[in-house]
Amino acid sequence: MSNGYEEELRALVSEIIEIPPERLTLNADFIDDLNVDSLRAIEIVAAFEKKYRLVIPEEDIPKIRTLGKLIEYTKDLQ
Amino acid sequence: MLLNQEQIKLILPHREPFLFIDEVIEIHGKDKIVAVKRINKDESYLGGHFPGRPIMPGVLIVEAMAQASILLYSVCKPEIARGNPEYYLGKVKSEFLSPVFPGDELIIEAISVKITDNAGIADATARVKDVTVAKASLVFGIKK
């Protein structure tokens, strides 16, 4: 995965959760570090699915707790 | 008619005068439902909005869309909906395009964008006959 892709995802997520992109490190936990609740979480998933035309099954959503995990997960989908 | 108001009341916790769905007329799998709300002349809010020129408030059209979205959720997650969870609206992006008057029949379509056990996103439109009167994207949560 290129850095461009990482930055694209960082921009997408940071806009939804309303934090500066630089705070969204690869290992920052969405829930514990960034206060992402279930509503913001589903917004991230829906925005991701719309942009990349992929479906994240519901059972996989709890496993994606960081930007790094989201990137890693996408590798498996592609 | 697929769901009448008595069946709707088994799903929605809302009651008159804050129940804004009369019936569900279409269910398209887990993707979409179509519901109806008839705007009666004696709706409680019309006397004040506005005296002499009654118009359905846009926020109540959004409420009708939110209630239709809960009904859509109940189609997607029937086992959770049967437990009568709490539903709450988290975020709405809406657009109002045309006024709705007493006597109008509001047709509300709610389309699933993403629905999980504890949250949902639905895109909704409301129309009177063939005229789209409002559009909204709704993010809602479910507390079991």
Domain map (residue ranges) of chain A: 3-77
Was domain A3-77 assigned CATH 1.10.1200.10?
yes
Question: Looking at CA atoms only, how far is residue A14 from chain B in angstroms?
Answer: 17
Strand pairing of B119-128 and B32-38? unpaired
In terms of residue numbers, what domain contains B104?
5-143
User: Could you give the number of structural domains in chain B?
Assistant: 1
DSSP state of B44: G
Going from the first residue of chain A to its last (78 residues), give the mean pLDDT of each consecutive group of 10, the final group possibly shorter.
Answer: 82 95 94 94 96 93 94 77
H-state helical runs in A1-78: 3-17, 38-52, 67-77
* Catalytic positions of B: 49
- Three-state DSSP state, B8: helix
Q: Which of residues 10-39 of A touch B (CB under 8 A)?
A: 37-39
> In Å, how far from its chain's centre is CA A51?
12
* Torsion angle in degrees (nearest 10) through CA of B119, B36, B23, B56: 90
The tens digit of pLDDT for each residue in B62-104 reads: 999 999 999 999 999 999 999 999 999 999 999 999 999 999 9
Question: Looking at CA atoms only, how far is residue B89 from chain A in angstroms?
Answer: 10
A45 and chain B in contact, CB less than 8 A: yes
CATH number of the CATH domain containing B121: 3.10.129.10
The tens digit of pLDDT for each residue in B103-120 reads: 999 999 999 999 999 999
Entry pTM: 0.94
Given the cut 0.85, state whether the ipTM is greater than it: yes
